[in-house]
Amino acid sequence: MHESYDFLIIGQGLAGSLLAWRLIRRGRRVLVLDDNHRTAASRVAAGLVNPLAGMRFNHSPRIGRWLEALAGLHDELAREAGRRFSHPQPMVRLFRSPQQARFYERNRARPGSEGLFGDRFGPEGSGQPVKAPHGGFHQHHTGHVDLPALLAFIARWLEARQALRREAVAYGQIEPGRDRVSCGELEAEHLIFCEGYRGMENPWFGHLPFAPDKGEFLVLEKRPRALPGGVPNTIVNGAHWLLPHADGRYRLGATHDHHRLDQRATAEGRKKLEQGMRDLLLHPESLRLVDQQAGVRPATGDRKPFLGTHPEQPRLHIFNGFGAHGSLAIPWYSKRMAEWLLEGKPLPEEADIGRFG
């Protein structure tokens, strides 16, 4: 006999976790299937929240809504968990060239930028022990989300509701019908794929323009005899970024590689990152290496996520493609995806897979 659900979700990374959270909170019977995070980007991601990503300091026209949804969802999670997973932290942004300062001047005046750009400073004015030959500026509405802790909490929350199974799903097990979809002995009204970059192997959605991007980063800690004040006490972000964590450790990242798609940390990645650290910090000798990690960002060709329903299989859906911005964007898009599935409200145009025809 089939076990029956409203929704099956494949993948308990940040996307599958937050979508399951929203659907269960709206009274739906959900089962999440995950292969124990075998390839989860969310398990290794630094979780930086940076509304002005990229060289030109552009931001999404939806940034206000993203930030609002991030705060709202994390308040909800904190009430349930008794602890916070989202930690606001100021960011010191460093110009990589004199030309970059022009993007700062131009974009801070754009409507919708209010509150994101802080004051500009010169080479000596960052207030942090960093090399800033071209100066930089203080950035607001930044911070990080403790993704491993959040995933572990949601896993426990799902388990308490018999809503999580640790198993790999083979695509051959899935049989979509007109009214229901089955997956082995399971059956549901809908099935949503949230497999991260492995979505590119999906027989129903793998044709979408995935552009997966491997990233490596270093985990560091202060040396016992580190110079007092020798290590930044806030996020610094230039060609590389350094993120101080509450447990006294630091993460320094990250590399980009569109060809080698695996979870292996490499000697080449380490060399690049160590050079990045020397270029960024005035006293790189204050930190020592503790670990090196790697994962693959589920990025897309047009840098917009993939949300929607298969054009010929109305029981199959996708919620994926959050690239390097999952922490900031998934809270809002998970709300919109739940509204699409439960109420048929239109998806945001830029994310709707209908944009590919």
Residues that bind ligand FAD (CB under 6 A): 10-16, 33-35, 37-42, 44-48, 168-169, 194-196, 198, 215, 217, 253-254, 295-298, 320, 322-328
Rank residues 231 and 299 by Cβ distance to ligand FAD and give the closer one.
299
Nearest distance from C-beta of residue 49 to ligand FAD, angstroms: 7
Rank residues 187 and 195 by Cβ distance to ligand FAD and give the closer one.
195
Rank residues 284 and 295 by Cβ distance to ligand FAD and give the closer one.
295
Nearest distance from C-beta of residue 278 to ligand FAD, angstroms: 20
Nearest distance from C-beta of residue 294 to ligand FAD, angstroms: 6
Place of tokens 């509701």: 161
Rank residues 137 and 205 by Cβ distance to ligand FAD and give the closer one.
205
Nearest distance from C-beta of residue 196 to ligand FAD, angstroms: 2
Rank residues 100 and 292 by Cβ distance to ligand FAD and give the closer one.
292
Give the residue closest to ligand FAD by C-beta.
13
Nearest distance from C-beta of residue 270 to ligand FAD, angstroms: 13
Nearest distance from C-beta of residue 105 to ligand FAD, angstroms: 26
Rank residues 66 and 121 by Cβ distance to ligand FAD and give the closer one.
66
